[in-house]
Structure 1
Amino acid sequence: MSVTDAAIEAIKQMIVDGELRPGDRLPREPDLAERLGLSRNSLREAVRALSLIHVLDVKQGDGTYVTSLEPALLMDAMSFVVDFHRDDTVLQFLEARRILEPAATAMAATNMSQEDIGGLARLIDSLGDKPTVEQLVANDLEFHRRIAAGSGNQVLSSLVESVSGRTQRARTWRGITQEAAVERTLAEHRAIQQALAAGQPDVARAWATVHIAGVEQWIRQTLVES
């Protein structure tokens, strides 16, 4: 279990035990981190993850509160759970990504203009050193969309975009809960971009496969642990 997962479980247990009830405000960040034996960074990541599934509500300038936990509020979170556990749907989409995107990336290495390939580097650089997970996932979607379009095959590009969009929430959750996921994603994006710039379709295909397989492997492990 990662440090962030441990932090998530600690906060969830406080709610289950009744120590935190719907509408309650969480203790101050430094106090709660010290009490739970966590770093403030791990606590922030846990809060972000729990706010994503509507367990917590972060109010800027006010504090972090437990939501009402009403079923209607949690429906979006339930659809996230369904993605993970009902017929392993998200995993099937990732398997399809692993087949389609490396092929599109290899084609882009010979068909994409150097100007557009340079635009990929600028897209990566636009994130800065410490992007949020939400910024990273949005950037990731655009990165792969441009490469698919650069393949020169409109049918393949449409297929990639459709399949890729269905894995967005899984990629967001991975970025929040898996340590070094942000750094790994950026490094792999740069490796793909450099292979495209060098006109190396086989290398570009290999890096795209490694990149997508990393998310798929994490999902598989998550399903096993669940």
Structure 2
Amino acid sequence: MALTDEAITKIRNMIRSGELPPGTRLPPEQQLAAQIGLSRSGVREAVKALEMARVLDVRRGDGTYVTSLAPHLLLEGLRFAVELLRDDTLLEVVEVRRLLEPAATGLAATRMSDAALDELGQILEDMRAAAADPELLIQYDIAFHRTVIAATGNETLTSLLDGLSDRTVRARVWRGLIEANSAHVTLDEHRAIYRALRSRDQLLAQASALVHVNTSESWLRAVLSEQSIDSSNI
């Protein structure tokens, strides 16, 4: 493992230095091993690890290439990592979302195109039509926020929030199933965000998004607190 870690570090340094820029084909395994002064087995395991991390792309019969190193590739593993977090860390995920999403929504207010706003308006109409179906409503909810975040033009931010959002989907569907008025609250909050974005009001868009995330966070805190009380009485 020490040799593999060393090989990973050396290949990564070659990429960071520009010696192996995105899209570049790596030297054959034997040549690369000699070049970095390590065994072929260590290089082979390092390549496998970097392939899993979406840093390298192994094309059978063609060779191994450095990927585009785009944020959506390198941060793809975040979604899987977040999915493995225990349920008692769900609140931490929501807290991170609260830190990032309002700021991103405010930024979107200054960058969103008219076409993107029209698309967002249609998604809002779809949400209204799906108000009685919690699972379908959440799918439109996700599409709404992805459209907003994508409008920032910041691929790293978009990838981070995508990875975090998936972890909270089940909790939001659960809320829709057990809270009779949650759909109406959700729709009102999304309308407020949409109106702020349409008016290009950065501060209002940020504040509206913060209210929306805080509603979900407050509900989750209350549910977890009740669960804790119930468990202590068993």
Same fold at TM > 0.5: yes
String of CA shifts for 1:175-213, please: whole Å, max 9, x gaps.
Answer: 111231001101111110110010001000001001011
Instruction: Give the Cα separation in 1 of the matches to 2:185 and 2:225.
Output: 23
Q: Which amino acid aligns with 1:160?
A: L
Instruction: Give the Cα separation in 2 of the matches to 1:153 and 1:202.
Output: 19
Q: Which amino acid aligns with 1:206?
A: A
1:91 is aligned to 91
Instruction: Give the Cα separation in 2 of the matches to 1:129 and 1:93.
Output: 26
Cα distance change of structure 1 residues 172 and 87 upon mapping to structure 2, 3 Å threshold: closer
State the TM-score, normalized to the length of structure 1: 0.61
Larger mean Cα displacement after TM superposition, 198-207 or 121-130: 121-130
Quote the offset at 1:151 in angstroms. 1.1
State whether structure 2 residue 161 is matched by structure 1 residue 160: yes
Contact 2:108 2:149 in 1 (8 A): yes
* 1:199 aligned counterpart, secondary structure: coil
String of CA shifts for 1:106-129, please: whole Å, max 9, x gaps.
Answer: 010001101101211111112316
Instruction: Give the Cα separation in 1 of the matches to 2:114 and 2:94.
Output: 29
* 1:88 aligned counterpart, secondary structure: helix
* 1:167 aligned counterpart, secondary structure: helix
1:183 is aligned to 184
1:116 is aligned to 116
Q: Which amino acid aligns with 1:218?
A: W
String of CA shifts for 1:128-181, please: whole Å, max 9, x gaps.
Answer: 164300111101111111111011111111111111111000000011112310
Unaligned runs of 5+ in 2: 1-83, 228-234
2:57 is aligned to none
1:101 is aligned to 101
- Within 5 Å, which residues of 2 pair with 1:1-12? none
Cα distance change of structure 1 residues 129 and 146 upon mapping to structure 2, 3 Å threshold: closer
String of CA shifts for 1:33-89, please: whole Å, max 9, x gaps.
Answer: xxxxxxxxxxxxxxxxxxxxxxxxxxxxxxxxxxxxxxxxxxxxxxxxx97xx4621
Q: Which amino acid aligns with 2:108?
A: A
2:220 is aligned to 219
Instruction: Give the Cα separation in 1 of the matches to 2:131 and 2:149.
Output: 26
Instruction: Give the Cα separation in 2 of the matches to 1:201 and 1:139.
Output: 23
* 2:200 aligned counterpart, secondary structure: coil
Following TM superposition, where does structure 1 have runs of at least 4 consecutive aligned residues deviating by more than 2 angstroms?
none
Q: Which amino acid aligns with 1:108?
A: A
Contact 1:107 1:152 in 2 (8 A): no
Instruction: Give the Cα separation in 2 of the matches to 1:129 and 1:155.
Output: 31
Same amino acid, percent of matched pairs: 42
State the TM-score, normalized to the length of structure 2: 0.59
